[in-house]
Amino acid sequence: MANSKYEYVKSFEAEDKLLPNTWIVIKIGGHDFTRFSEVHEFMKPNDEQALNLMNSCAMAMLEEYPDMVLAYGFRDEYSFILKEASEFYQRRASKLVSVSVSFFSAVYVMKWKEFFPEKALKYPPSFDGQVFCCPSVKILKDYLMWRQADCHTGNQYNTCLWMLVKSGQTKQAAQNILEGTQKQEKNELLFQQFGINYDKLPIMFRKGSCVLRHKVEEIIKYNRSGDPVKRLRKKVMVGHFNLDSPNFWTKHPSLLDELGVPESHRETLSKVWSTKCENVKSFEVKNSLMPSTWVVVRIDGRHFHRFSEAHEFEKPNDEKALNLMNSCAAAVLEEFPDVVFSYGVSDEYSFVFKDGSQFCERYSSQIVSRVVSFFSSMYVMKWKEFFLQKELKYAPSFDGRAICYPSAEILQDYLAWRQVDCHINNQYNTCFWMLVKSGKAKSEAQHILKGTQTQEKEDLLLQQFGIVYNTLPVMFRKGSCVFSDKVEESMEENGGHPVEGYLEKVIVEHCDIIGSSFWDLHPSILSCNLSKHPSIF
């Protein structure tokens, strides 16, 4: 990022590094999936295709992130366990949860047609993220037992509920019948009224799904005699197990090695648990953001240099790629009313929540994960709107963080910092890619530009390429602002006569937000008059 006088705002970014030598668990859960499943007509109580889609996304996670060694999931949730010694993203909670939720969301949308070829995805799914730190093997197993117990309890209840509903009961009547019933009573209800032996139902419904790596023998080549040469390779698989059974752990010794479980503690995992495990909820890492502050969620494309090369984005700026980002940002403002403004450049976007927002009770992980998940899903869903002739080759992902700013003035400095960064980086990249396109090697172009100032770059563009920098598209030079504003539109009265009126709409503009003009024109965004900065453009 470029140097500027506004860089002091970086000091407001809080440290959120997780404790070392603990097992990190990232729990992802579908947001409002009751409605999502109804809109998409999932079968009740279990839709096998929907569950297999979740399993496929979990497999993609383990294939993408080597530090994830075990995943457990059911219904619309999945938990991913990292090895104890993991230094993935330097163990920063915001990075871990945002990247995980982002990639999972993008893969879910990309794989939808694979599992639902006859169903259109009607709106983007989104997922919440939570982080747990398990300091011991016992707590780690408690966590897994807690989730598998929840799977069993929820599935048994839902199986009874939906069988009663399908038999003619109203949903409310079915809930009344089941109120206060115990496990055995539910089993008897299913058997006596519907002839269902609960223990004979598919194990995936009753026990959930595990995703892990196991060693398989594969043919890697054939020798001169034509005989196969085989090697053991680790391959990601899905299985359905009783995690409380000693057999699961003894049959997967390589899993214990990957997790980093010491030999002296492995016996703990082989013991059968009979205690309640809800106490592990206290090991959730909850970072509550300071009240009455402006919350900014900044998301950045992960490895977007590689992503842009793989998808052949134009250099230094791909207008379609930028407009795709802008469209996703506009969708975020439409989805989350507490977001009052956003600013974006290249592969990043900053979303400003109003200072009184109580979104997600101001828990950092939930706020960041909800925004980055929705943005990632929307990015994949909208891809074809902007790239009709290009296939999306693999799932994009974004990392995110939440930062608190105590005043509107400091918030404006933050936004000024991002726009200054846009200006400096775009000017450099424009010079760099013009030099490369003229035949210079990348290293040579970097050497030519080393230490040059703004005026020198402008002179280079004009003298060597006939480009007046300030006439380049304003979106490239100043980035994009997304906010709600009153827009004049024609509307019809009851009599059918058109009348002019104003509607509140989310709009995208490309303007100077460092000077006072923009904020004076739109005082309602920050509810104050901020006119302290002169424009640099």
Give per-residue pLDDT as tens, 73-96: 999 999 999 999 999 999 999 999
- What does pTM read for this prediction? 0.92
Closest C-alpha to 211, from 192, 228, 236, 182: 236
Taking residues 196-215, report their average pLDDT.
95
Q: At what angle do helices 183-194 and 137-166 cross, to 10 degrees?
A: 30
> What distances in angstroms separate CA 291 from CA 85, 338, 342, one per listed residue?
34, 14, 20
Structure tokens at 365: 């992980």
Taking residues 170-186, report their average pLDDT.
96
Q: Is the pLDDT of residue 422 over 50?
A: yes
Mean pLDDT of the residues in the chain: 92
Q: How far apart are CA 280 and CA 412, in angstroms?
A: 41
Q: How far apart are CA 525 and CA 536, in angstroms?
A: 22
Question: Torsions phi, psi of 262, nearest 5?
Answer: -60, 150
Question: Are 93 and 287 contacting, i.e. CB atoms less than 8 angstroms apart?
Answer: yes
Q: Facing residues of 79 across strands?
A: 27, 72
Question: To which residue do tokens 């250099």 refer?
Answer: 315
Q: Is the pLDDT of residue 274 over 70?
A: no
Edge-to-edge order in the sheet of strand 294-301 = 398-405, 294-301, 348-353, 339-345, 480-492, 498-509
pLDDT tens per residue, range 368-403:
999 999 999 999 999 999 999 999 999 999 999 999
Weakest-pLDDT range from 165-179, 297-311, 455-469, 489-503: 489-503
Question: Torsions phi, psi of 500, nearest 5?
Answer: -85, 135
Question: To which residue do tokens 């730190």 refer?
Answer: 133
Question: Are 340 and 346 contacting, i.e. CB atoms less than 8 angstroms apart?
Answer: no
Q: Which amino acid is at 174?
A: A
Residue 363: Cβ within 10 Å count: 18
Question: Torsions phi, psi of 234, nearest 5?
Answer: -85, 130
pLDDT tens per residue, range 210-263:
999 988 777 778 888 888 877 878 899 999 999 988 888 888 888 888 898 888
Q: How far apart are CA 416 and CA 411, in angstroms?
A: 9
Go through the chain and tell me how many residues it has: 537
pLDDT tens per residue, range 275-288:
567 788 999 999 99
Q: How far apart are CA 101 and CA 206, in angstroms?
A: 25
Residue 84 C-alpha from the chain's centroid: 23
Q: How far apart are CA 172 and CA 169, in angstroms?
A: 8
* Residues in CB range of 249: below 8 A, 6 or more apart: 255, 256, 266, 269, 270
Torsion of CA 456, 460, 466, 472, to 10 degrees: -60
Q: In terms of DSSP bridges, do strands 348-353 and 339-345 run parallel, antiparallel, or are they unpaired? A: antiparallel
Surface-to-core class of residue 222, CB atoms within 10 Å of its CB (0-12 exposed, 13-18 middle, 19+ buried)? exposed
Q: How far apart are CA 474 and CA 251, in angstroms?
A: 61
Closest C-alpha to 355, from 412, 421, 300: 412
Q: How far apart are CA 308 and CA 306, in angstroms?
A: 6
Domains detected in the chain: 21-149 (3.30.70.3000), 288-521 (3.30.70.3000)
Torsion of CA 2, 3, 6, 10, to 10 degrees: 80
Edge-to-edge order in the sheet of strand 23-30 = 127-134, 23-30, 77-82, 68-74, 209-222, 228-239
Residue 265 C-alpha from the chain's centroid: 34
Closest C-alpha to 329, from 484, 105, 98, 516: 484
Closest C-alpha to 8, from 417, 323, 292, 516: 417
pLDDT tens per residue, range 44-71:
999 999 999 999 999 999 999 999 999 9
* Residues in CB range of 3: below 8 A, 6 or more apart: none
Q: At what angle do helices 408-437 and 454-465 cross, to 10 degrees?
A: 30
Taking residues 1-20, report their average pLDDT.
86
Closest C-alpha to 28, from 365, 402, 400: 365
If DSSP codes are grouped into helix, strand and coil, which group holds residue 222? strand
DSSP annotation of 289 reads: P
pLDDT at 264 (0 to 100): 78
